[in-house]
Every structure is written in C-alpha cells, then in structure tokens.
Structure 1
Amino acid sequence: MIPIFSQTLSITLVGFYLGILIVISETLRRYYQADSEITRKIVHIGAGQVILLAWWLNIPSYLILWASFGASMVAIISYFLPILPSVNGVGRKSLGTLFYALSIGILTFLFWDKSLPQFTAIGILVMTWGDASAALVGQRWGKHKYLFLGSKKSWEGSGTMMVVSAIVVLSILSFVYPWHNYLLIIALSTAIIATFLETFSIVGIDNVTVPVFSAIFCYYLLQLFS
C-alpha cells in the first residue's frame, strides 16, 4: 500500500492527464469541427495509456476499479445525454465506451493484485492501439470488405489490427520477461485471437471481448511455454 500522499499525487496526475485529454478532444470538436469519430479515437487511444501510468505509479487495484465504475456511469449517461459528445455522440448505437470502461475493471480484477499488471496492460493496449488503428485504416484505406456475423470489416483494417496487436504484446512481454523466441509466437498468436474477436463488433462488444480474452489467452499461453 503506497502512502496517502503518494496515492493522492498519483490520482491527481491521472485525473489531470484525463482532463487534458477531454479538453483537447472537446476543443477539436467544438472549435475546429473535427469529425466525432476522430475525437472518439483520440480519447480511446489516449485513455488507454492511463493503464501504463497506473502501472508505473503502482496505483492500488481498488482505485482503478472505482475509476472503472465511475467511467461506466459516465458512459451510460453520455449515451443518452450530450455531456461528452467527443466521446460518445447522442443516440450512437454503440455501447463501446461502456464496454471499454468495464474491460479495465475486469482486467484489473483478474491480474492487478496477482502482481501481473502486464496482462492488464496487454489487454487494454491491444484494444486501444490495435482496435483504433484497425478502425482508422479500415475507414480510410479499406477497399476489400467482408462481412462477419453482421459486422462489416475490411482486410486492410484487420491486417492492421493483427500487426499492431502483435507489436503491443511483444513490446510488453519483452519489457517484463527475459527474451525467448517463443515470445514471438505468443505475441503473434495473441494478435490473431484479438483480430478474430475484433471482427465481431456489434454494439461495441469488441471493446470488452478483445481486451479480456486476449489478455487471458496471452497469460495461459505464456504459462504453457514457461
């Protein structure tokens, strides 16, 4: 348990970072007419980096769980009321922001107090970087479309998801564990699983399936090789 002063400082730093992120996205939307999808991705990617900040600051799990609960409540309200249009537009038929917040809580519950924060980070960052990159590339350069269980995707977007996810997983595993060639296998396998899960994104459900199951899969695959 870190001292109260350090706890307060850590929470303040995280809150300041998130506040700046929201201000930037809202400013871009209101004063520069930035597309709402772009501002959502800014928040999506930026907010995901908080897990690295929490890891570095050794923030207790109960604080992250409370933050996850609070963010979930804000996401539900924002779904119906225009309190944060840059995050979740009114009437947008997606609960992705809510699932995003819930996934942080689930992964924290599963790994944080077991001294395995790296897997919480893997799940969240695969979602933030992989999923967001896939969406942006798919929307801009996705020429070859396919339909999977009602979700329309592009091969360009899915390929981006797999590459970015593999880089994220390999980077974190290499930071935490001594280098072994099987880390490449684990990273690529986890990326394939994450990409498959991302293809089913009705109502934003991939914002919970991708991070949670990717992290669990990565964890157990590492146990198999270790």
Structure 2
Amino acid sequence: MGLTQQIMCYALWLGSVFALAEWLRACKVDGEWVRKVIHIGVGNIILLAWALQVPRWLGVSFSLVFASLALLSYRVAILQSLNGVGRRSFGTCFYALSIGLLLYWFWLPERQLFAVIGILVMTWADALAGLVGKTWGQHRYQLGSIQKSWEGSLTMWGVSSLVIGAVLLGYFGFSPSLLGISVLVGGMAMGLEVFSWWGLDNLTVPLASGGLCFVLVQGLNL
C-alpha cells in the first residue's frame, strides 16, 4: 500500500473515533466514558500501523501533531471531548508524546512489538482501570493526595499482563519466561499508574512497559 493510501487509512480511523466521541458527547454521555472512547480508539491505531508497516517518521509526525493539538485544546475549544471531564490534566498530551517516543525508539525491525506493547498497555489497561475504579471501586486507598481503588489497580495489573502476554506469546510462541515477564511488567505498570499527577502515567506507563519488556526479552536471547 502506498503512502497516500496509508495516510488516508489512518485519517479515516482517527476521524471515525473522534466523530463517535463527539456524537456521544452530544448525546450527554458521561465525559469520562467519552474520553475513554478516544483513549482506546486512538491507541488501537497502532495495530493498523503495525499491519501496514507505517514509516517511523510518519508515525512520529502524527504523534507530534496530535500532542500539539492536545496542548492547544486546553486553551481553545477544539474537540471538547478531549478535556471534558472537569479536571486539569496534561494526560492527552502525554499520551500522544509517549506514542511518538515509543515509535522513535522501537519502530525498527524486530523491535516494533515493544512499541506496540507500551501503547496497548496504555490504551487498554489504563482506560479500563479508570472505568472500573470509578464505576465499581469500593475499596479505596490513598497515597498522599492521590486516591485510588483496589478494584481499579488490580484491573490495571490484570489487563496489562494480558496485553503484554498476548503480544509476546503471539510473536515468540509460548514460554513460561514470557508469562513471567508479562506478570512482572504488568505489576510495574500498576505501580506507575498509582502515581498519576497531571496525567503523567500516560507517559511513564507506556514507556516503562515497552522499555522493560525489551530489556527482559533481550536477556532471554529469543
């Protein structure tokens, strides 16, 4: 597929995600759910990029543009669904920036899966942990000014481990060592998600997940 066709595919995907989010917002759906639709929808574009083998420069450029739009949206009403949950956070900008950094570091032959791991952990685990914690979180704990729920934190660990395991085992085949890496890195992602001032977990969780998986897998000489 040519570059122009690739760009059209990515633009169509993103346009569909934001159109759905704007429609949900117009229907008065809770702002947190709308934000998670964007969070999951945008993040899953990495699977399309992996399938189509997006050039690294294009992926990084898309990420920088999206990060710039996210920053601008804090001052100008661009896609209010990006920041419609009534809290001050730079999570959306960090989200886009982390994708760009992962692509810059890992979008190379035989390393792309580590970018995919970092992005999908942020995409699925972080989003579902937030929804579970808000909707069903009954057992609260507090670290300084940060309040979390055990239900949300354990969801973060479980979903992170599942995502990492699915990518590693799908790429390398079954290995008990890879299962151990999945659980270990998933636990680390849970710990980092706890410390989420200003949405910083959207930067620390994906970068650390992809980076630690890379280091540990390299140690196995697979």
Task: Answer whether TM exceeds 0.5 for this pair.
Answer: yes
Residue in 2 that maps onto 1:117: 112
- Residue 33 (structure 1) aligned to one of 28, 47, 52: 28
Matched, 1:47 2:36: no
Q: Give aligned pairs, total.
A: 221
Residue in 1 that maps onto 2:186: 191
Q: Matched residue of 2:93: which SS?
A: helix
Residue in 1 that maps onto 2:72: 77
- Map 1:77-156 onto structure 2 (within 5 A): 77-89=72-84, 92-156=87-151
State the 1:114 CA deviation.
Answer: 4.6
Task: Tell me how far apart the structure 2 counterparts of residues 207 and 90 of structure 1 sit (CA, whole Å).
Answer: 16
Instruction: Tell me the amino acid that sits aligned with residue 10 of structure 1.
Output: Q
Task: Tell me how far apart the structure 2 counterparts of residues 148 and 12 of structure 1 sit (CA, whole Å).
Answer: 45
State the 1:115 CA deviation.
Answer: 3.5
Matched, 1:9 2:5: yes
Task: Tell me how far apart the structure 2 counterparts of residues 57 and 114 of structure 1 sit (CA, whole Å).
Answer: 14
1:176-214 deviation per Cα after TM superposition (whole angstroms, max 9, x unaligned): 112211111010001001000000011000000000011
Tell which deviates more after alignment, 141-150 or 100-109. 141-150
Task: Tell me how far apart the structure 2 counterparts of residues 178 and 171 of structure 1 sit (CA, whole Å).
Answer: 10
Q: Matched residue of 1:75: which SS?
A: helix
Task: Tell me how far apart the structure 2 counterparts of residues 18 and 152 of structure 1 sit (CA, whole Å).
Answer: 32
Instruction: Tell me the amino acid that sits aligned with residue 181 of structure 2.
Output: I
Q: Matched residue of 2:147: which SS?
A: strand
State the 1:90 CA deviation.
Answer: 8.6
Residue in 2 that maps onto 1:176: 171
Residue in 1 that maps onto 2:60: 65
- Residue 202 (structure 2) aligned to one of 198, 202, 207: 207
1:6-43 deviation per Cα after TM superposition (whole angstroms, max 9, x unaligned): 1111110110011011011101111x111111110000
Instruction: Tell me the amino acid that sits aligned with residue 83 of structure 2.
Output: N
Unaligned runs of 5+ in 2: none
- Determine if contact 2:32/2:84 at 8 Å carries over to the other structure: no
Task: Tell me how far apart the structure 2 counterparts of residues 90 and 81 of structure 1 sit (CA, whole Å).
Answer: 16
- Residue 20 (structure 2) aligned to one of 24, 27, 31: 24
- Determine if contact 2:31/2:85 at 8 Å carries over to the other structure: no
Task: Tell me how far apart the structure 2 counterparts of residues 72 and 91 of structure 1 sit (CA, whole Å).
Answer: 20
State the 1:224 CA deviation.
Answer: 1.9
RMSD: 1.3
Q: Matched residue of 1:159: which SS?
A: helix
State the 1:60 CA deviation.
Answer: 0.3
- Determine if contact 1:126/1:165 at 8 Å carries over to the other structure: yes
State the 1:81 CA deviation.
Answer: 1.6
Unaligned runs of 5+ in 1: none
Q: Matched residue of 1:59: which SS?
A: coil
> TM-score, normalising length from structure 1?
0.94
